[in-house]
């Protein structure tokens, strides 16, 4: 079904790293019985494939080929969630040819029936500008670093809050400052600041916005 057909629903969720959009997106997809794609995983998988093959992260033609060959069915969130892969992904993500290849794959996914939830940095602005509803989920850098730190400690991984906060800020700067598809809210996105909100409260806030959008569709 065409992306912008009235019968097809696309929920676009954007925001910076560790703002809670992943958990929120999965909850929303489950609630509405929609397919979910964490588009960050597509950039992470591209970066990991380059690292595994000993290839450079900044050769655009090589990275484009890897991005074109990406198979969405092989994405393993557990393996790809490593902090270092996130860093590498944000370097690969500045290259326009890589973005073009991955956006094409993401758009094909977005058209799946009966509806889809995509989360990332540029879903509402570039990948699905005609999405049924657009949410921009954010939180302060300190809150996001604290959550990442708690997650890593819970998994028994070594974690230093100050280092994580530095990384969060550096990644924000790279994602917001790049020339191609920088991270920013779409003009018609609804802002959800989760700094002082539980995931359940964020989910309820999102649901109200989604229900309203579905009614006027």
Q: Could you list the residues that contact ligand C5P (CB under 6 A)?
A: 17, 39-40, 43-44, 86, 89-90, 93, 120-122, 171, 175
Q: How far is the CB of 157 from ligand C5P (least distance, A)?
A: 16
Tokens representing 66 are 């890897």
The pairing of strands 9-14 and 35-38 is unpaired
Nearer to ligand C5P, 140 or 214 (CB): 140
- How many Å separate Cα 62 from the centre of its chain? 23
Element (H, E) at 79: helix 77-80
Radius of gyration of the chain (CA): 17
Nearer to ligand C5P, 17 or 206 (CB): 17
Q: How far is the CB of 86 from ligand C5P (least distance, A)?
A: 5
Nearest alpha carbon to residue 188 among 134, 137, 144, 149 = 134
Q: How far is the CB of 215 from ligand C5P (least distance, A)?
A: 28
Nearer to ligand C5P, 44 or 48 (CB): 44
Nearer to ligand C5P, 115 or 120 (CB): 120
């Amino acid at each position: 079904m065409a992306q912008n057909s009235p019968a097809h629903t696309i929920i676009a969720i954007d925001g910076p790293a560790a703002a809670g959009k992943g958990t929120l997106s999965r909850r929303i997809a489950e609630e509405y019985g929609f397919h979910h794609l964490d588009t960050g995983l597509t950039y992470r998988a591209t970066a990991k494939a380059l690292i595994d093959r000993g290839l450079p992260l900044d050769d655009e033609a090589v990275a484009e080929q890897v991005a074109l060959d990406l198979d969405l069915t092989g994405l393993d969130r557990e393996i790809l969630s490593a902090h270092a892969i996130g860093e590498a992904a944000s370097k690969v993500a500045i290259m326009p040819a890589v973005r073009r290849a991955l956006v094409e794959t993401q758009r094909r996914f977005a058209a799946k029936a009966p509806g889809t939830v995509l989360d990332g940095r540029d879903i509402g602005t570039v990948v699905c500008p005609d999405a049924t509803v657009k949410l921009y989920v954010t939180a302060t850098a300190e809150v996001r670093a604290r959550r990442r730190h708690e997650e890593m400690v819970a998994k028994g991984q070594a974690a230093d809050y100050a280092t994580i906060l530095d990384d969060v800020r550096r990644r924000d700067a790279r994602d917001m400052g790049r020339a191609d598809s920088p991270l920013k809210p779409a003009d018609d996105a609804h802002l959800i600041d989760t700094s002082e909100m539980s995931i359940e409260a964020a989910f309820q806030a999102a649901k109200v916005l989604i229900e309203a959008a579905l009614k006027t569709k």
